Amino acid sequence: MARALDLARRGPAHGPNPRVGCVLLAPGPVPGARVLGEGWHRGAGTPHAEVAALADARARGADVRGATAVVTLEPCDHTGRTGPCSVALLEAGVARVVVAVPDPNPAAAGGAGRLRAAGVEVVVGVEEAAGRELLGPWLHAVSRGRPHVTLKLAATLDGRVAAADGSSRWITSPESRAHAHALRAEVDALVVGTGTALADDPALTARAADGGLTAHQPLRVVVGTRDLPAAGRLAGPGGEVLHLRTRDPREVLAALHAREVRRALVEGGPTLAAAFLRAGVVDQVHAYVAPVLLGAGRAAVGDLGIGSIGDALRLRTREVRPLGPDVLVVADVEEEER
């Protein structure tokens, strides 16, 4: 299963499909003594991990009848861009299937049941915690019916995102900006408000270390009722631009869910950040904090309607990482805080 999880990590973090890995083991008294085939899901429209592993076994000349399939997510039982993995395993003669995480997607679940009904031994829950960690945002999106939302903040030590004169480039270091661009390349949608779009004229692209665009570009989402200029950096190269004329974060997420967006990164500005936090739809915060003091200027987050320290929104720190002179704090919004 550890090997299957490693294979799964080779798949893209973005897109509507989960990252899944599969290892086929030869039958016999010592399962795992010989690997017959391996595979992972390479993205929407490509063979699923189980089918890829079966193809790899065929390419090796291996007979998979009676084999054990070790897979990180319950084999799907529906026909979408590809056929059901449960049927592919049955037709191949696989005798045992070991699964890390059951599939929460009602449209795809049922593979374990079909396999058991056909006489295949199915074991579920092996290394489940590691599997859930890998699938976190995707599991969240399909089980809750909305994208997993990360709020990105880039601020001074005293919580400012711009100086009193409005200038903000650059508060954080090149190392922080490079990390933020890598995060952009992993998400499905990048969300800002019309205020940020009009004031900063952002490109909202994911860029590599050499300054060029990465292969995957997120959907560029602008939220708010004001018109966007016909010219500007948003009209340049990058992902599709979607202007949602609403101020309601839940309407935004419903529209994105309809487009099969699984991971959304909210980047600004302070008004939009506050709106998503007040609506209780932020799941994780990435705060890039620079050792800079301004003393005045725009705060990183707008008014949350909190009047007492006892009502403060408290997060659970997941990671603290130095990035050049800066520090990245990754924190989860606990369920009870939403």
Token pair for 140 = 């969240």
- Is 336 annotated in the active site? no
Tell me if the bond preceding 269 is cis, omega within 30° of 0: yes
Of the candidates 215, 179, 131, which has an alpha carbon nearest to the alpha carbon of residue 288?
179
Measured distance CA(184)–CA(192) in Å, rounded: 13
DSSP H/E element including 90: helix 85-92
Pick the catalytic residue: 50, 74, 127, 267? 50
- According to DSSP, residue 310 is labeled G
Lookup result for tokens 């059901």: 84
Residues 6+ apart with CB under 8 A from 317: 329, 330, 331
Measured distance CA(338)–CA(83) in Å, rounded: 38
Q: What are the strands of the beta sheet with 241-244, ordered from one edge?
A: 241-244, 219-223, 189-193, 263-268, 148-156, 284-290, 326-333, 315-323
Of the candidates 189, 292, 170, 297, which has an alpha carbon nearest to the alpha carbon of residue 243?
189
| Torsion of the alpha carbons at 77, 79, 80 and 86, rounded to the nearest 10 | 40
Measured distance CA(9)–CA(19) in Å, rounded: 7
Active site amino acids: 50
